């Protein structure tokens, strides 16, 4: 992945955005990470460490880096119970003990859900639309009530994960070039929204789309939701320069970030709601360049998004690549660790926290 220096990135962003920049007030930016895989890693004997190699519980480590929130995914009937409601409760308790806010991310699947796959849970596979709405609402409300009954407060809830192509396929499947099924997508989204509010009335509901640089797609989907009674409080987006460049959507990291910030501003103006970057990540094999990008992202969010972006969450920062004897690497490329230790990438978070504390 080609990432240029922070000064060049930020200059490119500023050149591509018109209108006055409005600095955010201290305390208005949520700094977080999706650390849903922590307990599964621990069960396999994989523990987070600090930069000196000292074993540190992952939630504690994220807190030490200045984060004030965590994001936790929920699967319906997952193998081994990982990311089931009991597992989510364990992670939520850790976050609560550290005074961190909690975002719950419903995938509405038994496993990973993203733009390439939105598989219906096995136990729901024969349901029609009305039955699917009921199952979705029951699963959402039951999971959240379980957390609430165990003393957990939830600040945000995602109804679906990266649903650019809809979710619960084929019933809720959409395509930006064919929105004929948008009413189903909106109905399922609203069923989730109402279920969230029935348990946590003050929680903010997020509809999450990937490719944060792609304003036309966002407007097509959210216009469609609005026209069909879809409900949301916050627009969530993924911003990954690595994938944007790999699939030739953007020429470089600077363009990816510039277009995402422009999109945030446009969405805020068009729909009157806040936006959160609920997933981001950079190439952990090039940590200094990754740090420069993340610093530029925070600079742009804090200073140049008209106050519209209220949070930045890194996806699975504890993930790492291991260097093999033959020179290849194994593992997830976009975490923030290398050989089981944090890299400089995470230094962007305490820096962002300091920026937000300034008068």
> Mind telling me the catalytic residues?
162, 279
Identify whether the C-beta of residue 154 lies closer than 8 Å to the C-beta of residue 147: yes
b/e map 296-320, b = 16+ CB within 10 Å: bbbbbbbbbbbbbbbbbbbbbbbbb
DSSP code for 166: B
Nearest in space to 318 (alpha carbons), one of 102, 70, 100, 68: 70
- Whether cis (ω within 30° of 0) applies to the bond prior to 41 is no
Give every CB contact of residue 62 below 8 A, 6+ residues apart in sequence.
32, 33, 35, 70, 100, 317
Q: Measured between alpha carbons, how far is 311 from 28 in angstroms, rounded to an integer? A: 8
Q: Which residues contact 330 (CB under 8 A, 6 or more apart)?
A: 321, 322, 324
């Amino acid at each position: 992945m080609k990432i240029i220096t922070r000064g060049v990135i930020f200059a490119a962003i500023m050149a591509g955005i018109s209108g006055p920049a409005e600095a955010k007030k201290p305390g208005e930016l949520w700094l977080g990470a999706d650390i849903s895989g922590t307990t599964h890693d621990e069960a396999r004997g994989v523990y987070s460490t600090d930069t000196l190699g000292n074993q540190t519980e992952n939630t504690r480590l994220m807190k030490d880096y200045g984060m004030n929130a965590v994001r936790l995914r929920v699967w319906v009937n997952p193998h081994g119970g990982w990311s089931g409601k009991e597992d989510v409760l364990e992670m939520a308790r850790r976050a609560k003990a550290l005074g961190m806010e909690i975002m719950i991310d419903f995938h509405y699947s038994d496993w990973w859900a993203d733009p390439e796959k939105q598989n219906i849970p096995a136990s729901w596979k024969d349901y029609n639309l009305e039955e699917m709405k009921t199952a979705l609402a029951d699963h959402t409300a039951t999971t959240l009530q379980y957390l609430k009954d165990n003393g957990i407060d939830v600040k945000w809830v995602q109804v679906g994960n990266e649903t650019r192509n809809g979710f619960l396929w084929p019933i809720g499947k959409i395509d930006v070039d064919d929105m004929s099924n948008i009413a189903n997508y909106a109905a399922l989204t609203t069923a989730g929204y109402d279920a969230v509010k029935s348990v946590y009335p003050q929680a903010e509901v997020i509809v999450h789309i990937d490719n944060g640089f792609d304003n036309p797609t966002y407007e097509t989907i959210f216009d469609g939701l609005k026209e069909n009674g879809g409900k949301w409080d916050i627009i969530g987006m993924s911003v990954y320069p690595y994938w944007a460049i790999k699939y030739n959507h953007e020429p470089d990291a600077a363009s990816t970030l510039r277009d995402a910030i422009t999109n945030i501003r446009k969405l805020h103006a068009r729909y009157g709601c806040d936006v959160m970057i609920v997933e981001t990540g950079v190439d952990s094999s090039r940590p200094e360049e990754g740090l420069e990008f993340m610093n530029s992202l925070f600079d742009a969010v804090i200073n140049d998004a008209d106050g519209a972006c209220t949070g930045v969450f890194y996806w699975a920062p504890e993930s790492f690549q291991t260097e093999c004897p033959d020179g290849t690497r194994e593992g997830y490329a976009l975490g923030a660790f290398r050989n089981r230790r944090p890299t400089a990438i995470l230094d962007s978070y305490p820096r962002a926290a300091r920026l937000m504390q300034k008068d």
